[in-house]
Amino acid sequence: MQNIENKEYYTLLGLTKQGKNDIIIMYEIIRNKNER
């Protein structure tokens, strides 16, 4: 996804800054598990 699309996606979900951070953390955890 491009940055503009990401911003629109987060805006549509109405997420707070903390909410975005939680999603990023979850994504990193899932990605790390898949790499093992």
Its pTM surpasses 0.85: no
In single-letter form, the type of residue at position 8 comes to E
Q: What is the CA radius of gyration of the chain?
A: 11
Note the pLDDT of residue 22.
Answer: 86
Alpha carbons 35 and 12: distance in angstroms, whole number? 30
Give yes or no for residue 1 having a pLDDT over 60.
Answer: no
| Residue that wins the pLDDT comparison between 2 and 33 | 33
pLDDT tens profile 11-28: 767 666 777 788 889 999
Give the chain's mean pLDDT.
79
Note the pLDDT of residue 21.
Answer: 85
